[in-house]
Structure 1
Amino acid sequence: MTPYLVDAGAWQESWDRQQEAYLPDREHRFAALLDAADAVTGDGPLRLLDLAGGTGSISLRALARRPDAQVTLVDLDPVLLTLAEASLSGRATLVATDLNRPEWTAALPHREYDAVLTATALHWLDGPRLAELYREIHGCLRPGGVFVNADHMPGDTLPTLTAQLTARARQRRTARHAAGAAASWAGWWEQAAADPALGPLVEKRRQVYPTGHSPEWTPPAQWHLDALRAAGFREAGVLWRNGADAAVAALA
């Protein structure tokens, strides 16, 4: 990847604020993911795969905890990969590859990882592809390694309360956008398109995703647990939950 003259710190902060408007508990979910990675490695070295890692949110936090970690970040978005490259400054290996294609694992620099972590990303994949991806992720982990996926995963036991919590979160997000406290998803991309360095990459992104991302697919957490067990993981359960969002963890 070619380095671009961008203020990585400013764009990372802008991305964080935009994401936090949708995910007020974002840091809590990151902490849950990283705690799981720490648990399976203890004091030993950590080899981490940041799946659909975007701007490097998980990688940056992992390296803040474990400066000696070997981190691989996988994504396809040219804008987000550029920001990750500028922010990580050579501390991680970045791989541009498409998770919709089973051969994505061939681009990885390591055969096995201690942890594969992902957050708010895999909802762009449909059910059959995500089930296959879980099998591929299992093949990327060493025995005893952990996979954690945090995303919108509504439970099926509190439908009324979950709907109420979701509506309240939407109201707060709308207020933040109206007050200018954070950009909306569309607004953030408009700002990126207007930036001299990122603008050409936004156009390249449109070529990568000519029809935009696929519609979001957000099944209940139980679907993920069933799919993870079917993929060969020996344990799978809900690691963290807040309202309609959850993180499922599985051990290889």
Structure 2
Amino acid sequence: MSAEISKQFNEVAQQYDQQRRFLIPCFNDFYHAALPLLQHRGADTSVLDIGAGTGLFSAILYQQHPAWQYTLLDVSVDMLQVAKKRFHGLDNFSFTEADFSGESLSGSYDVVISALAIHHLEDAAKITLYNNIYQILKPGGIFINADQVQGRSPLFDAHYKTRWRETVINSGLDKAAIDKAFERIKLDKFAPLEWQLQTLEQAGFTEVDCIYKNGNFVVFAGCKGK
């Protein structure tokens, strides 16, 4: 993952959470769509949050499952510092600074989650990461990715991106923050949803589907066989 990505997210770390609802028009559905898939897992469940940033996705999951063990991984030191403050005093949280785009993952987990991180990777790195995630998941484990994807055709891809820009411009977010958001998206490397679902299947996931879609905001999941 490029140093420029780390730099830009370090710069926005302190404002990241408060800007999310302005930058993600479907914020509530986007972050909550996958939670019913996890509701019947036991109290000893272990979670890896890849590209965790400030820990926003983990925080939403923690509200429903406060006894689970959480490991938050991110390349941005400043983003992880915000996450550490968020979960200060909780002994079931650990934090790892790492570039998940090029390094193998370690550990063994029941659940792997990611939100708005994997779209920063080149396609080859996405393939490697999806294979690495499959390897560290325990049998019966699940991977959930809440992310942005490329439209299925040029027309729809342009439509989604144009609509998002218009929504952000009219969201009430201050101009400086909007400008920085538009600067960050230049680093995005969206991939088609169907291709990513197929890539998960090729990695070994036996049950794969998209469970939520709003424009180019999607949530998809893959289950590892028992």
Q: TM-score, structure 1 length as denominator? A: 0.74
Structure 1 pair 230–185 and aligned structure 2 pair: CA distance change class (3 A): farther
User: Residue 166 of structure 2 corresponds to which residue in structure 1?
Assistant: 171
The answer to whether the 8 Å contact 2:72/2:96 transfers is yes
Give unmatched runs, 5+ long, in structure 1: 1-10, 190-211
CA RMSD, 1 decimal? 2.7
Contact preservation (8 Å) 2:112, 2:133: yes
Are the counterparts in 2 of residues 37 and 114 from structure 1 also a CA contact under 8 Å? no
Tell me, in whole angstroms, the C-alpha distance in 2 between the residues paired with 1:126 and 1:75: 17
**1:18 aligned partner, one-letter code:** Q
Aligned 8 A contact 1:238 1:246 in 2: yes
Secondary structure, in 3 states, of the residue corresponding to 1:101? coil
Q: Per-residue deviation at 1:176?
A: 2.8
Unaligned residue ranges in structure 2 (runs of 5+): 1-12
In the alignment, is the contact (CA less than 8 A) between 1:124 and 1:213 conserved in 2?
A: no
Please list, as runs of the form range in 1=range in 2, the aligned pairs for 1:129-148 lying within 5 A after superposition. 129-148=125-144
Match of 1:33, as an amino acid?
Answer: A
Cα distance in 1, alignment partners of residues 126 and 63 from structure 2: 30
Q: 1:87 to 1:139 in 2, by over 3 A?
A: same
Q: Does 1:241 find its partner at 2:223?
A: no
Q: Contact 1:138–1:232 (CA<8 Å) still a contact in 2?
A: yes
Change (3 A) 1:57 1:95: same
Map Cα deviations across residues 98-122 of structure 1 (whole Å, 9 max, x no partner).
112233x23xxxx321110101111
Radius of gyration: which is bigger? Answer: 1
Contact 1:154 1:246 (C-alpha < 8 Å) held by counterparts: no
Q: Does 1:52 align with 2:47?
A: no
Q: Percent identity?
A: 27
Does the aligned pair in 2 maintain the 1:51–1:74 contact within 8 Å? Answer: yes
Q: How many residues align?
A: 209
Shift of the alpha carbon at 1:155? 4.4
With normalisation by structure 2, the TM-score equals 0.82
